[in-house]
Structure 1
Amino acid sequence: MSRTRISFAEARAIIDRVADARRLPAERVALARAHGHVLAADIVAAIAQPPFDNSAMDGFALRHADLQTDGDTTLRLIGEQFAGRAVALEVGPGECARITTGAPLPAGTDTVVMKENTRVEGDHVSVLEAPSPHQHVRRAGEDTRAGERILHAGDVLTPARIALAASQGLAELEVARRPTVTVFTTGDELVEPGLPLEPGQIYNSNREQLMGLLRADGLEPVAWPTLPDDPAQVESALRHAGHAFDVVLTCGAVSAGEKDHIPALLQAQGDVQFWKVRMKPGMPVLFAAGGKLGDALFLCLPGNPVSVLATWLALGRPLLDRLQGRAAARPHWRARLVRPWRKTNERLEFLRGRLQSSDDGSLEVEPNPADGSHRMRAAADSDALIVLAEGAREYPAGTVVDVLPY
């Protein structure tokens, strides 16, 4: 007997445990294709950054000891060092060298004066405003030392982290393979956008919503044609997908109605981990390993569009993150309610809301009064889910609550 009507915390713990046991293998990808992937192995710096002392400004490299404490200092210009290949230039007492940003510091120098603070006359440079010792000099290794761990397994490869890896000369990175994901929508009532509606039909909005959420996370999901409310066709399609993908996502046909065939199919041929979670919206959500239907993990979401959004953000996204070994959790903030809210149900609730900043800089969230799971406009007008704990209670304005940004 699978777990049913469990708490949201239990559901998350089960998803974490199953995903950890199914961690996806690592692969090597070109640096240019690594953006958004999860790093699979630590990166240790092979070289220091900067690799040599260099100038932070366009100006003149000099010996700080040569500067006069009272009045201007005039130094003899003996050469120039531009960014690029280092030249054999050594600066002695009373001398200086022209230098550009990023150029290696010539031997004998320890300070750079900005070009704007000098006057050049022939081969002599007058320092009009003396820099402090070592000013405008970037020291070798001040950012990264050789042998230092600079990126960790589980890090998401942001553009800044990719740049850090590039600064080490790495052309490839070892990353977790991204999961292959397929999306099913179900129901005889669904019609594709652009086609005419017959009485009793609605347009299929869940497919585009779920496909968009997956693409926004850097995945390349595959959408199947809408499944009719026919158990044989549902079984055939899910069996095929279960042998071809890492994760199968379905929308609809997961409750206890006459046309909800997915729970019975997975109870009979899969390994159901849980069915029904004490959450609102999205209670009928089902999570299973494929069993006889293949090696895929099945996350079966309810059919109402807001339920799809809530269950994906709260359960689906953490599942795919965990499969890739993502170390850092997604943003989970706390904000003050702009206005009061009465929670009348016992389940943990995900309410739609819009984040904003107060005059004092604190984070606020305004709940949307349209809280029905079919009311997609409320979700479209919002940018976060407000997390209200189990149990009915009053939430006065100003109450601090957890929020989950889209």
Structure 2
Amino acid sequence: MRDDFPTQLTFDDAQAIVDATAAEHRLPTERLALARTHQRILAQDVVAPIPLPPFDNSAMDGYAVRHADIARGETTLQLVGEQFAGRALDLRVDAGQCVRITTGAPMPAGADTVVIREVVRIEGDRITFPADFRAGANVRYAGEDVQVDDAVLAPGQVLTPARVATVASLGIDQLSVSARPTVAVFTTGDELVQPGIALEPGQIHDSNRELLMGLLRADGLEPTAWPTMPDDPERIASMLRDAASSFDVVITCGAVSAGEKDHVPALLDAHGRIRFWKVRMKPGMPLLFGDLDQARFLGLPGNPVSVFATYATLGRRLLDGLQGRTEARRVFRARLATPIDKPHARREFLRGRLEVGEDGTLRAHPDAATGSHRLRAAAMADALIVVPEGPQQLSIGSVVDVLPY
């Protein structure tokens, strides 16, 4: 193998290479009907063509009045019409008059206040109003949420349900979004058998396939699981090159360290490009990143907790970057509920649980099971606790970054 690629690099340096690679290979955009854009990454500016609300309207069921008519105490006004939500009826409220109105209905000309129906007395077409009702009460004004030509959304934002609904309220029925990356998933090793098959001595069930496929699906992607790769360099090379010719991203689990059966680094070096190999992080140090044919290649370690940590920190970052996502994933700050003593220099991502105390403080409980093979501990956790580089002795109450699952 060549030795002209970064190795044993810091976590921050690995992030920078992932970011630069993703920017270099940004995926194309596509225009979709609004209903198909949920959870996609926006690829255009959204500028308001109309105001929101588009007209002055009532926030409550009640009566539209001129505040000047009810400002001097209890007052009885003449009912001159009804305005329901829907088509405006071109009604007008003059001195001494009122109009029955429903929520969302356009305000009649001349009216500036809505008095809720629960506080009035009704005697035929004579409506009596209480004193001291605030001017402008229960009126939603045109443009108070969005003005014409306001910048509503920007490229790189995630199209959450509330954002898609906002676009719908503007009357926009299509958006440009980033294409979703196609992802091929491989697990490796002669020892792997699928769940449901009885184990022979030395075999284990393949958990990484379900772990990685689930993580990708949770991020809105539709990954393709390939057959398990045997510990045979020629077959590994054939399978990986086949996938790399037609997928945007190829992710493997296992065979990326320096053992006799860890064939993937040499194969990527021979047939593609290694951008870095081995990151000073725990778990997940043997991480391999590069290019193979048209695909970005991400070789994750074989232990399941390492798969989880490397995908959550760097794999997800690659996929976000390829789609042009500009919004950072959530990082919380929490106080440690138990101390941490870390003697090594690598950045560590500990499994843990988050809870909010009665005082409103977010607390992180590190799990005592730190082995990268201990998947059950990861299943019981709900966050990764970030312990910085260098030896660390963190006491109870120390503030740390946490990455919620």
TM interval, short-chain normalised:
over 0.9
3-state secondary structure, aligned to 1:398 = coil
* Structure 1 stretch displaced more, 197-206 or 357-366: 357-366
- Map 1:286-325 to 2 at 5 A: 286-290=288-292, 294-325=293-324
Q: Is this contact kept in 2: 1:113–1:130, CA < 8 A?
A: no
Q: Secondary structure at the match of 1:112?
A: strand
In the alignment, which residue of structure 2 is the partner of 1:27? Answer: 30
Q: Any residues of structure 2 matched to 1:36-55 within 5 Å, and which?
A: 36-55=39-58
Picking from 260, 275, 278, the partner of 2:277 is: 275
Deviations 1:1-58 (A, max 9, x none): 1111000000000000000111111111111111100000010000000010000010
Q: Residue 148 of structure 2 aligns to a residue in which SS?
A: coil
Match of residue 101 from structure 1: 103
The percent of aligned pairs where both chains have the same amino acid is 61
Determine if the alignment matches structure 1 residue 2 to structure 2 residue 5: yes
How large is the Cα RMSD of the aligned pairs? 0.8
Measure how far apart 1:84 and its partner are: 0.3
C-alpha separation in 1, matches of 2:396 and 2:342: 13
Q: Distance in 2 between matches of 1:68 and 1:312?
A: 64
Which one of the candidate residues 61, 64, 67 is aligned to 1:61?
A: 64
Letter matched to residue 336 of structure 2: L
Counterpart mapping for 1:360-399 below 5 A: 360-399=359-398
Q: Deviating runs (4+, > 3 A) in structure 1?
A: none
Pairwise CA distance, 1:69: 1.9
The equivalences for 1:106-145 within 5 A come to 106-145=108-147
1:98 is paired with a residue whose SS is strand
CA contact (8 A) 2:70 2:131 kept: no
Instruction: Report what 2:180 is aligned to.
Output: 178
Query: Secondary structure at 1:308's aligned position in 2?
Result: helix
Give, as a single letter, the amino acid of the residue that structure 2 aligns with 1:278: R
Contact map agreement 1:353 1:382 (CA 8 A) in 2:
yes
Residue number in structure 2 paired with 1:13: 16
Deviation for aligned residue 1:332:
1.1
Q: Distance in 2 between matches of 1:68 and 1:248?
A: 71
Q: Find the aligned partners of 2:401 and 2:71 in 1 and give their Cα distance.
A: 60
Q: Offset of 1:166 from its aligned partner? A: 0.3
Structure-2 residue corresponding to 1:187: 189
Write out per-residue CA displacement over residues 127-148 of structure 1, whole angstroms, 9 at most, x where no aligned residue: 1354211110000000000010
Aligned to 1:206: 208
Most deviating of 265-274 and 339-348: 339-348
CA-CA distance at 1:358 after TM superposition: 1.8
Aligned with residue 265 of structure 2, among 263, 266, 291: 263
C-alpha contact 2:71 2:133 (8 A) present in aligned 1: no
Seen in structure 2, the aligned counterparts of structure 1 residues 68 and 17 have a Cα distance that, compared at 3 Å, is: closer
Alpha-carbon distance in structure 2 between the residues aligned to 1:405 and 1:24 = 27
> What's the TM-score, normalizing by structure 1?
0.98
In the alignment, the residues of structure 2 paired with residue 211 and residue 222 of structure 1 have an alpha-carbon distance, to the nearest angstrom, of: 8
Note the 1:217-232 alignment, pairs <5 A: 217-232=219-234
Pair 365,68 (structure 1): closer, same or farther in 2 beyond 3 Å:
closer
Task: Point out where structure 2 has 5 or more consecutive residues left out of the alignment.
Answer: none
2:338 equivalent to 1:339: yes
CA distance in 1, matches of 2:61, 2:78: 17
**Residue identity in the other structure for 1:330:** R
Residues of 2 paired with 1:179 and 1:98: CA distance? 54
Q: Please give the secondary structure, in 2, of the residue aligned with 1:233.
A: helix
User: AA paired with 2:205?
Assistant: Y
